[in-house]
C-alpha cells in the first residue's frame, strides 16, 4: 500500500512541479550563496570573482593598490575604528566641545580614512560577493537616482549633500566591518571593548533615575512618568535601540561561550542593560527586545519560546501602573488627539498627501523628516504638505515611511531587499559555521539587525547614527566571520 502511494505521488503533476522547483532553487544564485559559507570551493560561476565585468574591475583595483605592509598601519587602522565606537555613544556629551554639525563630517572623514588604509593594506583578501553586498549596491543606486531627481526638481543641493554624508558613513563602516578583522582574537578584543562601554552607558542611565532627572520633553501630560532615562545619548529612543543591539550580540556570545565562569560575567551586563532599557519607556525598544528574543530562540532552540508565554502574563500582572499604561496609552483618546495634529498619524497623512507626486524616485534624501530637512536647511517639500504654514514635524517615526517618501518605490524596494538579504545571509552563516563562538555571535548579530528593523517600523532609526553606525558596522563583521583566522 505504501509503495503504491509512493508510485502514485512520484508520477503526479505536483511531484513533477516540486522537482522542477527544487532544481531551480538549487541552481539559483540566492541558494548557491550557501556554498560560500561552507568554506569550500565553489562549483559554479561565482558572481563577483568569475564574471568578466566584476573580475576586470577587481583586477584593476589590485594593480592600483599600493599594497603597503606595516604593523603601525594596522594598529592605526584598528585604533581609529575603536575610536568611532567609543565616540558614537558619548558624542552627545561632547557636542558643546566642537562646532555645530562637526560630527556630521568628522565620522565620515575618519571612516573614509580607515577604509583607505584597509584598501592599501597588503594581505587584505577580496571578500566573496554575497547577497547582502548586492543589497548595499542596490541601496546606493536608489540614493543616487533619487538625489539627481531631487536636485533637478527642487535645486536644494545642500540637503542632498548633508544627507549623503550620513549615508556615506553607514556604507563605509559596513565595508570596514567586512575587512578590518583578520583573526578571531582581534574580534574578541573589540567585542569586550564595546560591551564594557555598553555596561557604562546602561549604568549612567540607571543613575539618572536614582538621581531623579526629570524628562518632561518626552512625556505626554497624562502619563504617570517623571523620568525616561537617556544616559549619554540624545533621547530614550536612541538609548533603547542602542541597548537592543548590544543585548542580542551579548546574548549570542553568552550561548557561544563554553566555560561557566565566563558566562557568569555576562549576568551583570544583562541585568543593567535590561533595567536601563525598561527605564527608557520606549515602546519601540520594548517591542524590539520582545520580538528579537522570540526570533533568537526560534532559530536557536524553539522550545524556549514556550517559557515566554507565562513570563509575559506574569510580567503584565506585576509591572507598575505607569509601565502598563505606557503600553496601552496608544488606545487613549488623548494620545490619538495629539497624534493626529503633531504625531505619527499627522505624519502618515502628510506623507501620503505629498507622495503621489513623487511616487517613483521620491522627494530626495534629506528632503523630508530628519534633522537635515528640518534644521540644517529647511526643505521646500513641506510647502506641498497639509500643514498650511505650520512648523513641520521633524521625524517620520517610521524609517520605511521616510525612505518611501524620500526615495520612492525604487528606494523602498532596495531597502527591503537589503534588509531581507542581510537576515538571509546571517542565518546562512549561523547554519554553516563550525566554531560555536562565531556561530552564536552570527545569530546574535543577525537578531540585533532584526530588532533594528522592528524598531524601524516605529521610529526613523537611520536618523540616529548611534544606532545605525553600530548595526551597519556589525553587519559587515557578520559577513566577514567565515574568513576569520583562529589565533
pLDDT in tens, 447-482: 999 999 999 999 999 989 899 999 999 999 999 999
Give the pLDDT confidence of 125-171 residue by residue, as tens digits: 555 678 888 899 999 999 999 999 999 999 999 999 889 888 999 99
pLDDT at 102 over 70: no
Percentage of residues in the chain with pLDDT exceeding 90? Answer: 43
Q: d(Cα 359, Cα 70) in Å, to the nearest integer?
A: 50
CA distance 256 to 430: 11
**pLDDT number for residue 83:** 86
Give the domain extent around 302. 202-334+396-472+479-483
Tens-digit pLDDT profile for residues 309-325 = 777 777 767 777 777 77
Cα Rg of the chain (Å, integer)? 24
The whole-number pLDDT of residue 296 equals: 95
- Spatial distance between the Cα atoms of 116 and 143, rounded to a whole number of angstroms: 23
- Split at pLDDT 50, 70, 90, the class of 226 is confident
CA distance 453 to 439: 21
Which span out of 73-77, 324-328, 471-475 was modeled with the highest average pLDDT? 471-475
- Assign residue 326 a region (left: φ > 0; alpha: ψ between -120 and 50; beta: otherwise): alpha
Plot region of 39 (φ>0 → left; ψ -120 to 50 → alpha; else → beta): left
Please, are residues 365 and 405 in contact by the beta-carbon 8 Å criterion? no
Position 156 in a domain:
no
pLDDT score at 37: 46
CA distance 144 to 407: 9
- Provide the whole-model pTM: 0.84
The answer as to whether 300 is a domain residue is yes
Residue 112 has pLDDT above 60, yes or no: yes
Nearest of 469, 422, 480, 467 to residue 81 by alpha carbon: 469
Residue 370 in this model has a pLDDT that exceeds 70: yes
- Lowest mean pLDDT across 116-130, 184-198, 228-242: 116-130
Could you give phi then psi for residue 127, rounded to 5 degrees? Answer: -70, 145
Question: Comparing 277 with 22, which gets the higher pLDDT?
Answer: 277
CA dist 446 to 102, 127, 238, 429, Å? 32, 19, 19, 10
Segment 290-313 shows an average pLDDT of: 84
The least confident of 258-267, 324-333, 462-471 is 324-333
Structural domains counted in the chain = 1
Give the separation between CA 329 and CA 446, rounded to whole angstroms.
31
Would you say residue 414 lies in a domain?
Answer: yes
The pLDDT value recorded for residue 17 is 63
Q: In this structure, what DSSP letter does residue 183 have?
A: B
Residue 443 lies in a domain: yes
Within a domain: residue 467? Answer: yes
Query: Looking at the domain assignment, is residue 362 inside a domain?
Result: no
In angstroms, the CA 115 to CA 51 distance is 25
Mean predicted lDDT score pLDDT of the chain: 81
Least confident of 20-34, 319-333, 410-424: 20-34
Residue 279 lies in a domain: yes
pLDDT: is 234 or 329 the higher one?
234
Give backbone dihedrals phi and psi of 121, rounded to 5 degrees, phi first. -75, 130
The single-letter DSSP state of residue 69 is -
> What confidence tier does 199 reach under pLDDT thresholds 50, 70, 90?
very high
Cβ-based neighbour number of residue 317 at 10 Å:
8
Q: What is the pLDDT of residue 39?
A: 44
Determine the pLDDT at residue 230: 93
> Considering the domain boundaries, does residue 367 fall inside one?
no
User: Rounded to an integer, what is the distance from CA 102 to the centroid of its chain?
Assistant: 23
| pLDDT tens digit sequence for 378-422 | 888 888 877 655 556 667 889 999 999 999 999 999 999 999 999
Higher pLDDT, 465 or 337: 465
Q: What's the grid cell of residue 74?
A: 594596522
Mean pLDDT of 1-7: 53
Helix (H, G, I), strand (E, B) or coil at 255: helix
Higher pLDDT residue, 120 or 88? 88
Amino acid at each position: 500500500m505504501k509503495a503504491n502511494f509512493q508510485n502514485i505521488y512520484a508520477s503526479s503533476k505536483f511531484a513533477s512541479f516540486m522537482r522542477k522547483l527544487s532544481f531551480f532553487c538549487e541552481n539559483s544564485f540566492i541558494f548557491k550563496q550557501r556554498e560560500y559559507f561552507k568554506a569550500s570551493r565553489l562549483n559554479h560561476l561565482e558572481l563577483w570573482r568569475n564574471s568578466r565585468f566584476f573580475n576586470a574591475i577587481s583586477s584593476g583595483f589590485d594593480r592600483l593598490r599600493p599594497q603597503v605592509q606595516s604593523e603601525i598601519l594596522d594598529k592605526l587602522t584598528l585604533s581609529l575604528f575603536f575610536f568611532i565606537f567609543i565616540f558614537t555613544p558619548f558624542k552627545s556629551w561632547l557636542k558643546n566641545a566642537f562646532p555645530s554639525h562637526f560630527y556630521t563630517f568628522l565620522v565620515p572623514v575618519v571612516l573614509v580614512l580607515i577604509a583607505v588604509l584597509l584598501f592599501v593594506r597588503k594581505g587584505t583578501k577580496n571578500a566573496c560577493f554575497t547577497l547582502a553586498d548586492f543589497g548595499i549596491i542596490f541601496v546606493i543606486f536608489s540614493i543616487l537616482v533619487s538625489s539627481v531627481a531631487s536636485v533637478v526638481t527642487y535645486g536644494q543641493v545642500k540637503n542632498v549633500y548633508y544627507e549623503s554624508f550620513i549615508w556615506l558613513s553607514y556604507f563605509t563602516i559596513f565595508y570596514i566591518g567586512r575587512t578590518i578583522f583578520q583573526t578571531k582574537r582581534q574580534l574578541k578584543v573589540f567585542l569586550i571593548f564595546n560591551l564594557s562601554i555598553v555596561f557604562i552607558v546602561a549604568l549612567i542611565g540607571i543613575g539618572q533615575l536614582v538621581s531623579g532627572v526629570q524628562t518632561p520633553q518626552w512625556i505626554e501630560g497624562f502619563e504617570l512618568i517623571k523620568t525616561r532615562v537617556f544616559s549619554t545619548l540624545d533621547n530614550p529612543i536612541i538609548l533603547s535601540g542602542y541597548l537592543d543591539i548590544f543585548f542580542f550580540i551579548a546574548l549570542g556570545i553568552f550561548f557561544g561561550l563554553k566555560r561557566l565562569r565566563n558566562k557568569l560575567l555576562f549576568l551583570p551586563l544583562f541585568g543593567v542593560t535590561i533595567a536601563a532599557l525598561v527605564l527608557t519607556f520606549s515602546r519601540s525598544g520594548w517591542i524590539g527586545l520582545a520580538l528579537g528574543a522570540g526570533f533568537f530562540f526560534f532559530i536557536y532552540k524553539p522550545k524556549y519560546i514556550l517559557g515566554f508565554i507565562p513570563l509575559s502574563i506574569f510580567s503584565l500582572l506585576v509591572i507598575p501602573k505607569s509601565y502598563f499604561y505606557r503600553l496601552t496609552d496608544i488606545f487613549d483618546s488623548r494620545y490619538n488627539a495629539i497624534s493626529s495634529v503633531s504625531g505619527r498619524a499627522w505624519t502618515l497623512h502628510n506623507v501620503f498627501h505629498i507622495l503621489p507626486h513623487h511616487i517613483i524616485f521620491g522627494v530626495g534624501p534629506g528632503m523630508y523628516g530628519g534633522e537635515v530637512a528640518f534644521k540644517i536647511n529647511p526643505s521646500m517639500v513641506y510647502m506641498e504638505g497639509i500643514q498650511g504654514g505650520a512648523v513641520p514635524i521633524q521625524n517620520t517615526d517610521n524609517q520605511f515611511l521616510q525612505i518611501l517618501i524620500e526615495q520612492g518605490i525604487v528606494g523602498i524596494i532596495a531597502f527591503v531587499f537589503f534588509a531581507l538579504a542581510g537576515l538571509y545571509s546571517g542565518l546562512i552563516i549561523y547554519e554553516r559555521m563550525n566554531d560555536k563562538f562565531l556561530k552564536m555571535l552570527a545569530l546574535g548579530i543577525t537578531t540585533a539587525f532584526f530588532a533594528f528593523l522592528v524598531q524601524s517600523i516605529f521610529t526613523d532609526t537611520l536618523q540616529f547614527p548611534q544606532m545605525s553606525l553600530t548595526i551597519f558596522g556589525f553587519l559587515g563583521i557578520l559577513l566577514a566571520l567565515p574568513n576569520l583566522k583562529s589565533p
